[in-house]
Each structure stands twice: as structure tokens, then as C-alpha cells.
Amino acid sequence: MAGQEQIRPQRRDDEPDDAPEPVAPTVQNRDAEVDALLDEIDDVLESNAEQFVRGFVQKGGQ
Amino acid sequence: MRRVMGIETEYGILQPGRPLANPMLLSSHVVAVHAAARDGARGKARWDYDDEDPLHDARGFHLQRASAHPSLLTDDPAAPAPSGDGPQELPRSAVEEYEDPGAANVILTNGARLYVDHAHPEYSSPEVTNPLDAVLWDRAGEQVMLQSVRGLASNPALPDVALYKNNVDGKGATYGTHENYLVDRAVPFTDLAARLIPFFVTRQVFTGAGRVGLGQRGERAGFQLSQRADYVEAEIGLETTLRRPIVNTRDEPHADPDRWRRLHVIVGDATMLEAATYVRLGTTSLVLWLLERQVADGGSGGALAALDRLALRDPVAAVQQVSHDLTLTARLDLADGRTLTALEVQRGYLEAVRTAVAHVGDEVDEQTADVLRRWESLLDRLGSDPATCAREVEWLAKLRLLEGMRRRDRLEWDHPRLAAVDLQWSDLRPERGLYHRLVGAGAVELLVTPEQVARAVVRPPEDTRAYFRGEAVSRYGGEITAASWDSVVFDVPGSSTLQRVPMRDPLRGTRAHVGDLLDASPDASALLAALGS
């Protein structure tokens, strides 16, 4: 993924994955909202993602 | 802000479980759902191809038909467009015309055109005069398409379809969401194009819909701002299906060609977020107003000269450079040797518009003020805390979910679940589409209500010729044999000829102009008599 930069700082490899990072309260609220949305998405997302993605073929248009 | 504009959207289409299903056939079924809903003595009204001219190039020539790529030939050979103001007589065809299912075309009662274009169902919105109405009739288009999905699902004899308001399949195919703006013809096209290019290259920072995958075939893992960026290959050109240009030169105004140019913009992304659609149309319309100052008394107060300094050294490369930079800090090379970020280029346009507005000194209407406020606010926040724009900027709304999923499930960018999120994002069905989950959670800004959208599905805008077209179809549909952007052709029983009513001016045929006339005409004969008198 050369050239790809994220809008959040990258997690360093030496940090334990499940240690909580200090975050501002607004960011925590946003994260909670995202987690709730992800739970909903889990329910409706195509169960076989690979098959869905592979089968999503379109003809070129304008 | 008052400018005739509209959006045409090609939708992605699938038959779930049948990836090899024929998309042209599926698309014709989508359109047919709405044709079936139309009463008609002769069946559905044809599209009137007389004024279609897709090979006319704004640079002042016609592409030879024989050298045109076949995909450009979206018209039929037709009689020259008639002149004059009142209804014109046309002979009836001697034989019943063969209706090719691939040419399926419906004119809706809201004045929109629903048809099959290159293996996609396409909704071309009615003409509106402002970006908020553009959002409303674009959302109406989603509902029209959803009605087709539901209609096909309820009929066991017909295939089920899923429709997606997006622009890529991730494997190499791309299909467009085109904006159309009427522009003062007096502005020289070369100046118009040159001054638009840096704006189109950089507006992605708030208009991009986001895309999982880099490269035309998604061959590199990652995420980028824009769906269409990797398919832009030229600065200026006529093509729309290959060698796609930043500025398209198609010159088919569907209006008086001495007064108007229809700028046909093909580089934008389809957006589900209403605020994103609104600022895309609003900011572009304001930039066009600025560019029209070149030929207006009083000029621009120096704003146009400032704009010229924003010219880019390599605009096509810059499109991808901007799209692939999620930090919004990449510096673009300008023609004069300086470098600026995309946000700085956009700020240059905003400042230029503000300068010209102040110079002209007229009072600014509510939507103009609102668009200017939002444009400034977006540029400020994108430069300092982009996550705060996730309610208005689609690539940020999408990225927020994707980053959350990556973090929670430890996924790399090449994981199929991320691509699936990107695709299912724009599924029109509220129970499946991921954008609709955000709406339900109150996570995106809404500009129009469901009641307004439901009305816009069946009622046309009242301030353009879409009013006459939509109301004519609604009231006299059985007596209309053909229609187009600038005409309606009536076939009245007992008349020896057809009657073609031209509508050359997009700002006539409004409710103010013809509403009373329509109310007083119980049938097409009465209407034609009133129009001819």
C-alpha cells in the first residue's frame, strides 16, 4: 500500500492491540457511533463478501 | 442563484445470484415497470430524437459519424429540427415503428427521462433552477429506481434486480453521473474549459464519494477520494466512454444554441449524501457564474485574473494525485511553477467567487449565501479536522465506517468485506443499502424530507419547461406520441397530422407561463388550440 496515508495516526507495532489509547471525548463518541453502525452493517452486509464482490460486474457506461 | 441544471445518473444493475444476466435486458425491465404504469392509446411515448446531436463538439466542429466510436452515436438519423414558435405539423409514419426493447424510454410525470443507456438504466432529472431542487429531483430518481426494484420483485415472471447508485464495479468498468448546467454561450469555450479544469481536479476533496481500490481495475489495495478519478485520461475531449476528459466538449444545448451552452460534466461521482450533491451542484454553479462575468458588464473585479494563476501543469495526473491522497496535503504543480494543495486551489476559487460577488454588489440570495458558507466551512474543517465533515462529505462518511471495520476486525485494504461495504453502500433498498443505515442512525445531514421526495417522484419542478413536459404527460399522456427535452409531440384522434410543440427555452413552459392554460384544457385538442392561437 505504498503512497496510502490515513487520516488517523498509524498504530505502532509495539503497542499492545487491546490497550486503550487516550482519546478525546468527541472522538470516543464518534467511535461509539461507528461501532453501533458496524453492528447494524454486520446484520445486512452480504454474507459471502467475496462472492458478492466477484459477482458485481458491470458494463462500461458513460 | 438561478441556473438551469440537472443530473443524469447511470445506475449499476445486478440480478442477484445471476452474475451473467444480460444487463441491457435487465435495464429494459427496470424502465418497463414505469412504462406499464403509463396509460396510453398507442403505448408509451417515444423519445423525440430530432434534436439529439452527440457528435457536435464545443470546439466548433462535428465529429464525422464514420470516425465516431459507436458508443457516441446516441441519436437516430432524423429530420432537421423544425423552427418557429407554435405547434408544427408532422406526418404520421406510414407504418407502425418497431420498438427496440433496448431503446426503452419513458418520460415521467415529474418531467424526467427514464431509459436504457449502454447497459444501465438511467434517470435523467427534470431541469431545475437551483441546487436544492437538483438534490430533490435526484432523490426522486432513486425512488423511481427503487419502485422498479420493488415492481420486479413482486412479479415472479420477471427477474429480480438490485440497483446501485455508484460509478465503478471495481474491475474496470465505470459508468457516469453527469451534471448539466446551462451557461451563457458568449463565454468562449476555451476560456471556460481552462478555468474549470483546476476546479474539477480539486473539488473531489468535498465531492468525492470514496472508493475502495486504486487503479482502473482496482489492482492496488487502498482507498481514494473519488470513484471516477482513475478513469480520467484527457483534459478536454468529446468522448464519454473511453479517454474520458476532465472537460467534456459535447455541444447539445437542447435550447437556443445562440444563447446557451449546456456544459456536460462527466467527472463527478454519484453521491447518496444530500449535502454532498448540494455542494457539488452549488459550488460548480457559482464558479460558472464567475466565469460568465468575462462577458458581463462590469467584469469580475480582478477575480478572473486571480483564477488564471491556478492553472495546473498536469491536470490529468493531478486528478489521481488528489484522489489518492487521504491527508489532503499533497502539493500540486501549477503551470507557473508554484505548488498548492487541492484545498488551497479550492480556496482560490472560493475567494475569486467572493471577490466577484462583492464587486457586482447585488444582494445575494439565500441559497447562494448558504453554498458559500458551506464551501468555506468545508474547506476550513477539511484542513483541520476532516472527521467532522463525515455528515456532509461522502468519502469521509464511507472511510469512517471502513476504518472502524479495519480496526475492529484487523482487515487489510484488500479484504473483500471492505470492497463489499463500498459496493453495498449505494444499494437503493433501504433494508440493504449501507448509506440507509447511516440515515437511520442520524449520522448524515438531510436536506429534503421523504414527503418532498415522494411529491417530486410524480410532480415536476414548477420553474422550468419540465413543468410543461411533466404535466402534459400526466394530463394528456394517452395523446402524446413522443417527447424530448425541447419538444412534445401530440397525436390527437381525428387530426390528419401530428402536432409538435417546441420548447426551446428551458425557462418557459413553467407553471407561471402555462399553468392556467393546462388547467383550462381538458384534453390535448383544447391545449393545442390554445397554443396555436
Q: Dump pLDDT digits (tens) for B424-443.
A: 999 999 999 999 999 999 99
Residue at B396: amino acid letter: L
Listed in order, strand segments (DSSP E) in B391-511 are 480-484, 487-490, 498-502
Say whether residue B171 is in contact with chain A using an 8 A CB cutoff: yes
Measured distance CA(B389)–CA(B396) in Å, rounded: 7
Contact by Cβ (8 Å): B491, B479: yes
- Cβ of residue B266 closer than 8 Å to a chain A Cβ: yes
At B381, list the grid cell. Answer: 474543517
Query: CB A3 to CB B324 under 8 A?
Result: yes
Angle ∠(A53,A55,A61) on CA atoms, nearest 5: 95
Set of chain B residues whose Cβ sits within 8 Å of the Cβ of A4: 214, 222-223, 324, 326, 413
- Catalytic residue, chosen from B53, B117, B133, B160, is B117
The whole-number mean pLDDT for each consecutive block of 10 residues of chain B, a chain of 533 residues, reads 96 95 95 76 61 78 68 53 60 62 81 94 98 98 98 96 98 97 97 98 98 97 98 94 94 93 97 98 98 96 97 98 98 98 98 97 96 98 97 98 97 98 98 97 97 98 98 94 92 90 95 96 95 83
Which residues of A fall within a CB distance of 8 Å from B434? 41, 44-45
Tell me the pLDDT tens digit for each residue of B149-184: 999 999 999 999 999 999 999 999 999 999 999 999
Joined grid coordinates for residue B89: 405539423
Q: Which residues of A touch B (CB under 8 A)?
A: 1, 3-8, 17, 27, 30-31, 33-38, 40-41, 44-46, 49-50, 52-62
Task: Provide the phi-psi class of B91: left if phi over 0, else alpha when psi is between -120 and 50, else beta.
Answer: beta
Residue with cell 498548492: B340
Q: What is the C-alpha separation between B426 and B227, in angstroms, rounded?
A: 12
At residue B41, the pLDDT reads: 35
Q: Which B positions 398-427 lie with beta carbon below 8 A of chain A?
A: 399-401, 403-405, 408, 410, 412-413, 416-417, 419-421, 423-424
Task: Tell me whether residues B437 and A56 touch, CB distance under 8 A.
Answer: no
B4-33 in b/e burial notation, b at 16+ Cβ within 10 A?
bbbbbbbbbbbbeeeeeeebbebbbbbbbb
Kindly report the backbone phi and psi dihedral angles of residue B64, in degrees, each rounded to the nearest multiple of 5, phi listed first. Answer: -60, 135
Q: How far is B330 from chain A (nearest CA, A)?
A: 11
Please give the residue of chain B at the shortest CA–CA distance from A9. Answer: B327
Query: Cβ–Cβ of A49/B419 closer than 8 Å?
Result: yes
Contacts of B178 in chain A (CB under 8 A): 62
Q: Which residue of A has its CA nearest to B395?
A: A7
Measured between CA atoms, how close is A22 to chain B, in angstroms?
16
Which of helix, strand or coil describes residue B68?
coil
Size of interface A-B (CB pairs under 8 A): 139
Its ipTM equals: 0.89
pLDDT confidence band for A25 (50 / 70 / 90): low
B240/A contact by beta carbon, under 8 A: yes
Chain B stretch 454-513, residues whose beta carbon is closer than 8 A to a beta carbon of chain A:
none
d(CA B289, CA B450): 31
Nearest-neighbour CA in chain A from B56: distance (Å): 17
pTM value? 0.90
B117 flagged as catalytic = yes
Which of B:63-92 have CB within 8 Å of A? 71
Select from B242, B326, B400 the Cβ nearest to the Cβ of A34.
B400
Residue in B75, B123, B180, B417 to test binding to A, most A beta-carbons within 10 Å? B417
Question: Dihedrals φ, ψ of B90, to 5°?
Answer: -130, 140
Strand order in the sheet with B46-47: B46-47, B480-484, B487-490, B498-502, B88-90
- Hey, which residues 423-452 in chain B have their CB within 8 Å of chain A? 423-424, 431-432, 434, 437-438, 440-441, 443
- CB distance B178–A34 less than 8 Å? no
Cα Dmax for chain B:
73
Minimum-distance CB partner of A7 among B174, B327, B410: B327
**Cβ–Cβ of B416/A49 closer than 8 Å?**
yes
Measured between alpha carbons, how far is residue A37 from residues A33, B75, B402, B441 in Å? Answer: 6, 46, 11, 8
For residue B184, the Cα-to-chain-centroid distance in whole angstroms is 19
Select the residue of A36, A46, A62 nearest B175 (Cβ to Cβ). Answer: A62
